[in-house]
């Protein structure tokens, strides 16, 4: 259920950034199994992006799916039990669906444009056969690129993700929870990020500190995965769970920062987390 946000945007100090991280960890701990199951379902859906036509529809639906994850965190905070169906709730919400899909199309266009500007002039990337092999995950095709092109590709990907993430960070929850239209939500969301650069700087530092042991553990587990057999499958499963947990931690900080900066009026109704008939982890 959508909740109105307060009109006044709050300017917060450095310390709130760490507070968002702690709050996110707390919410994740409360319903870790259910939240990780939702994250797993989202990854399965995103794995279909290589399918023609369906892939594009999935890409533009990412903001709606992200709103579903934020809804799951809201249900968790209010004492409910988030079900997988919450992931698809924004897609079937009527008015919000169009706004979120439009946001997805905008993010996709801006991401492609920013990446194209960085990669312009690379002759290797103009080869359609080579690009097709790279898109299909052919590692040998990547090795045919010179190191400079690979560096530019990594830079382009980073810029694309950064620009898309900045545009959508508060825009998605403002549309879903605040019932804003796309234009005002974009402007208000960007303004909130700029005004609150201090806590976001502290949040980035906190996430970086957490990322170090996560990356080390993942690297160590991945080195053990080469042994083959059942142990290899178990280790790869552990790596996936670790990555999903960190991804949900990021979504949790997005939810907590939005709620702290904009404020949310709790619904008088109990959380519609969907009941015991839903899948649980």
pLDDT in tens, 35-53: 999 999 999 998 888 787 7
Contact 248, 1 (CB under 8 A): no
**Could you give the CA distance from residue 164 to residue 53 in angstroms, rounded to a whole number?**
21
CB neighbour list of residue 70: distance below 8 Å, 6 or more residues apart: 172, 173, 176, 177, 251, 254, 255, 258
User: Which one has a higher pLDDT value, 133 or 96?
Assistant: 96
Distances (CA, A) of 272 to 110, 247, 264, 279: 35, 24, 17, 15
pLDDT in tens, 216-259: 887 787 777 666 667 777 777 888 888 999 999 999 999 999 99
Distances (CA, A) of 86 to 41, 112, 115, 153: 11, 29, 32, 35
Contact 131, 125 (CB under 8 A): yes
Mean pLDDT of 203-226: 84
The domain locations on the chain are 15-262
**Could you give the CA distance from residue 190 to residue 34 in angstroms, rounded to a whole number?**
31
Query: Between vectors from CA 254 to CA 251 and to CA 260, what angle results, nearest 5°?
Result: 140
Query: Between vectors from CA 164 to CA 222 and to CA 95, what angle results, nearest 5°?
Result: 115
Check whether 212 has a pLDDT greater than 60: yes
Q: What average pLDDT is seen over the chain?
A: 82
User: Which one has a higher pLDDT value, 92 or 117?
Assistant: 92
Q: How confident is the model at residue 144 (pLDDT cuts 50, 70, 90)?
A: low
Mean pLDDT of 122-149: 59
Contact 116, 195 (CB under 8 A): no
**Could you give the CA distance from residue 91 to residue 271 in angstroms, rounded to a whole number?**
19
């Amino acid at each position: 259920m959508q909740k109105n946000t307060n009109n006044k945007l709050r300017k917060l100090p450095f310390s709130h950034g760490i507070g968002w991280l702690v709050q996110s960890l707390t919410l994740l701990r409360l319903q870790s199994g259910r939240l990780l199951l939702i994250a797993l379902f989202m990854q399965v859906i995103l794995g279909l992006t290589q399918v023609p036509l369906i892939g594009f529809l999935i890409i533009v639906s990412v903001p709606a799916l992200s709103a579903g994850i934020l809804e799951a965190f809201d249900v968790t905070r209010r004492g409910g039990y988030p079900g997988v169906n919450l992931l698809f709730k924004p897609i079937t919400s009527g008015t919000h669906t169009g706004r979120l899909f439009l946001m997805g199309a905008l993010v996709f266009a801006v991401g492609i444009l920013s990446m194209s500007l960085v990669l312009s002039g690379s002759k290797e990337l103009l080869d359609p056969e080579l690009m097709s092999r790279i898109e299909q995950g052919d590692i040998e095709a990547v090795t045919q690129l010179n190191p400079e092109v690979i560096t530019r590709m990594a830079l382009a990907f980073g810029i694309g993700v950064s620009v898309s993430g900045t545009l959508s960070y508060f825009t998605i929850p403002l549309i879903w929870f605040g019932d804003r239209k796309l234009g005002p939500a974009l402007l208000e969301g960007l303004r909130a990020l700029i005004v609150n650069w201090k806590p976001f700087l502290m949040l980035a530092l906190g996430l970086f500190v957490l990322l170090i042991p996560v990356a080390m553990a993942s690297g160590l587990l991945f080195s053990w995965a080469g042994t083959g057999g059942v142990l290899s499958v178990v280790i790869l499963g552990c790596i996936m769970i670790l990555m999903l947990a960190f991804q949900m931690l990021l979504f949790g900080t997005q939810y907590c920062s939005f709620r702290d900066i904009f404020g949310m009026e709790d619904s008088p109704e109990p959380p519609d987390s969907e009941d015991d008939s839903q899948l649980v982890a």
